Structure 1
Amino acid sequence: MPRPPAPAAHVVVLGGGLAGTLAAAALAPHAGGVTVVERDRLPDAPEPRRGLPQARHAHLFWSGGARAVEALLPGTHELWERHGARHIPIPQGMISYSPAGWFRRWHDERSHHYAIAARRDLTDWVVRTRLTQAFGHVEFRTDRTPVALLGDSRRVRGLEVRDAGGRPETLEAALVVDATGRAAVGGRLLAVLGAPPVPVTRVDAGVAYASRLYRAPEGARAGWPVVNIQADPTTGEPAGLATVVPTETGDWLVSLSGTRGRHPTGDVAAFEEFARALRHPLAADLVRRATPVGAVALTRSTPNIRRHYDRAATPAGFLAVGDAATACNPVYAHGMSSAARSALALRRVADELGVTDERFARRAQKAVAREAAAAWTLATGQDLFFPGVEAPAPPGFAARAAGRYVTALMNAAIGDHHVVQRFTDVMTLEKPATRLATPRMVLAALRGPRLPKLDGPALTPDEQAVLDSVRRTDPHPK
């Protein structure tokens, strides 16, 4: 059971995005008050906001993360689905082309894996709504910019902020949580206090990605699967990939990505061309049959960056979560799920110690790092092998051996239901990566697929009918 909140315990969370909102949910039962400080003005509906440009790209909430959200804020799933978010069973709700070939869409009544598919604006708004419904002592202070941490190099005791008019405000707190995403302003604020630098590991495959919203064709606006054309890191050539995610409105959000030397652009006319030049043209064929809505959104903010707060001499009363601690290449779609699992780990430590304990921040930071390790390993384990990657060192023997093993498992997975289930355990963050190293999995990697490769994507008759429909005569309407 959670400890009763200490009367004077006040928590300040920097950042009102998903990681910050979930951190507030994790800590609220242990605080007399929680203040979430956000530079933006947060919308009262699932609408875009200035400080979340990544909302224009495709997102998935894997079941390992979605279950963590539900544990923190019961009722979130029901509210997501009430507003149209798609509950997609995995693997039967996914058409995926791996480096080894097409995955089968195994149907297993016992399978519990799924993904929540919706535009990011809806995902965040629902979580923020559930937070304020569940905890009346959580307050959002918007249009506020963090200026300085209060305290010294041994103990953080609060935060100074300025509002949009430049007026200062002091927020005393037993704990300050940095959830400012890749901007990670906490490191700069700590330096002013005299805290030592935080070690950083960076792995950058130079990935850029471009996304565009499409109105799905008739017959594809309900029940459409996620489509994923994966990159192949084993070729030694610049690689590209595509993801088509159905949204709550029945539209498709299409994201294209490419490593250094093969970048998509914001050019509308080049969008379909890039998709058609990938390892398989399925995404391009779908785009050709859909109607574009709006412009192409482009970003290059994709490096894997790990700030090792768990190993740093960080002052008591401060910790970092989400992308402020571990930011992974977003094309692997683990950011939201990793943040949710980290928040649940934060709750467990708070249940044990309470937030005013001098040991809390350090213990919680280590717990957050352990949860983020899975997403980091999955992302860097692939990005390290793309040409031109910027990393502390080339892949060593262990990394190369692990890469060969995963390649063998992927080959087995296209025709082995057990291997697919174990891969899905790890991909959805339901289970740790050690799930892939059991004797049965090693044997499967050595044996290879039990069934022959598929000749093409495993489409249902209705899905094939969409592909067989008449193509748009003008692929780039104004």
Structure 2
Amino acid sequence: MTQSSPPRHAVVIGGSMAGLLAAAVLAEHATVTIIDADTLPDSPAPRRGLPQARHVHVMWSGGARAIEDILPGITEDWTAAGAIRRSLPTDLVTKTAEGWIPRFAEMQFNISCSRDLLDSVVRARVTALDGVSTLQRSRVRGVEGTAARITGVRVDTPEEEGRLVPADLVVDASGRGSRARSWLQELGVSGIRRAEVDSGLVYATRIFEAPDGAHASGFPIVNVQSDPRVPVPGQTATIVPIENGQWQATLSGTRGGQPTGDPDAFIPFAKGIRDPIVGELLEGRKPLTDVAVTQGTANRRIYFEKVDLPDGFFAVGDSVATFNPLYGQGMTVAAQGLLAVRALLRAKGLAHPAFGREAQRAIAPQVATAWDLATSQDILYPGATGMKPRAGAGLLNSYVSRLMTGATTRQALTAAFLQVITMSSAPTHWLRPSVVWRVLRASERGALKAPPLTAAERTVAGLDQRSDPADPVGGAR
């Protein structure tokens, strides 16, 4: 670690996942103050500043590995708290746009639990680090400094309005509602470009009591995705087994096909999409919550890396880019970006001139990859607004569609599909010669015709017994 200057102080605006991970990375080099408008819970509990926590959140293996690198042992901490480590695609029953994915032996994994539990475990680890403190129930009014250098933040705390908190580095991790762009513009930083792609997506979530024996038997995640190639609103339904013997069920729909908060319409919506399996599984289950609905899920990106940022500042997480939550990219993008920041810190130190600008550029590749994946699909839905796909996007989409067709029948292409979807590799992985060769020979011959639930799973779920497709679990091919 390079540290040639006196002790330094960093301020992180926002105590959600991105902010906590930023604090963990910075704690190697500085004292850190996390500032948040909420009271941060000591246990898994909802908070006002994270309303999207009510919906399904799945931590992909690419993100879990990155966070494990930052906070060794975190995966064990999650599972000890009640989270479930699921093998992919073994513990996944999913219908992609091209069809059902066979349940081969583990290729990747995810962590299944509520977002409140996910955050609380990370929060406990980070706030226990030496030199990390929190300033809660406090709202940042703005950044202090000039267009050349940020020197701190101005904060309204419960005890004092307009308190100055000096800092050698300010990290904005305040999320979708970030005001950093306006703050920087007020200091004279111009040309900060913003882009948006909005499919009009609405999310609706309800938690149900899982059937007796479902958790003990390792009941899989069940998911039916939409097909953006068909010119109708994209609708999805997902069940994720979470802690405390519960099923978290999330529905989504793009413009013209959104779910509502009507509890009587929840299961009919799930049964009315491309396959009714999620609705059938929920039928007769005891609901434990009302229906939570979230709108305003547009993909938005601020190109901070394209401007001459002041020294002593960078942004991370949803402050930089928000993605359609359907793809589960946000936490992983933040974690992988902060690994790049950590490498920069260890190589050059916090005192390095223009560190903030270099950190922002180090984050950009992860953001750009996720942005291209999300927006290239979302812009295809009826009524979607925003920037149009780049030239050649249609050809690339056709190739990916063929790859996903192959993933429904061939183990090697299932592995390639999951390698990128779980953000364990960049999409360029799909262009490796060995993958291209298999994609060119991809076929849907032998694809599963029905959800690959086992007979035991169907019994646990209380589904009427019916003929299972040949090889329902999907053996290696």
TM range (shorter): over 0.9
Amino acid at match of 1:46: P
Which residue of 440, 448, 451 corresponds with 1:446?
440
Q: Does 1:400 align with 2:399?
A: no
Distance 2:142 2:75 in 1: 37
CA deviation map 1:421-464 (0-9, x unaligned): 01111111111110001222222222123750112111122211
Structure 1 unaligned spans of 5+: 472-478
Match of residue 99 from structure 2: 101
Match of residue 155 from structure 1: 149
**Conserved? CA contact 1:103–1:415, under 8 Å:** yes
Distance 1:442 1:69 in 2: 31
**Conserved? CA contact 1:273–1:284, under 8 Å:** yes
Match of residue 476 from structure 1: none
Match of residue 341 from structure 2: 346
The within-5 A match list for 1:37-56 is 37-56=35-54
Q: Does 1:418 align with 2:412?
A: yes
**Conserved? CA contact 1:95–1:458, under 8 Å:** yes
Q: Does 1:65 align with 2:59?
A: no
Which residue of 305, 309, 315 corresponds with 2:310?
315
Q: Does 1:336 align with 2:334?
A: no
Distance 1:175 1:396 in 2: 36
SS in 2 for 1:220: coil
**Conserved? CA contact 1:219–1:462, under 8 Å:** no
Q: Quote how far apart the aligned CAs of 1:337 are.
A: 1.3
- Give TM-score scaled by structure 1 length: 0.94
Amino acid at match of 2:81: H
Distance 1:431 1:221 in 2: 30
Identical pairs, percent: 40
Q: Does 1:219 align with 2:213?
A: yes
Distance 1:294 1:196 in 2: 46
Which residue of 258, 263, 276 corresponds with 1:281?
276
**Conserved? CA contact 1:5–1:30, under 8 Å:** no
Q: Does 1:11 align with 2:6?
A: no
CA deviation map 1:125-169 (0-9, x unaligned): 100111123x22001100111112111011111111011355232
Q: Quote how far apart the aligned CAs of 1:293 are.
A: 0.8
CA deviation map 1:385-444 (0-9, x unaligned): 111111123x35411111111111111110011111011111111111100012222222
The 1:309–1:390 alpha-carbon spacing in structure 2 relative to 1, beyond 3 Å, is same
Distance 1:6 1:66 in 2: 33
Which residue of 320, 329, 333 corresponds with 1:325?
320
- Give TM-score scaled by structure 2 length: 0.94
Match of residue 252 from structure 2: 257
Match of residue 91 from structure 1: 89
Q: Quote how far apart the aligned CAs of 1:469 are.
A: 4.5
Q: Quote how far apart the aligned CAs of 1:377 are.
A: 2.1
Amino acid at match of 2:443: P
Match of residue 297 from structure 2: 302
Q: Does 1:174 align with 2:168?
A: yes
Q: Quote how far apart the aligned CAs of 1:185 are.
A: 1.7
Q: Quote how far apart the aligned CAs of 1:5 are.
A: 7.1
Distance 1:385 1:412 in 2: 22
Match of residue 116 from structure 1: 111
Amino acid at match of 1:88: R
Distance 2:4 2:214 in 1: 50
**Conserved? CA contact 2:280–2:463, under 8 Å:** no
Match of residue 474 from structure 1: none
Q: CA-atom RMSD, angstroms?
A: 1.6
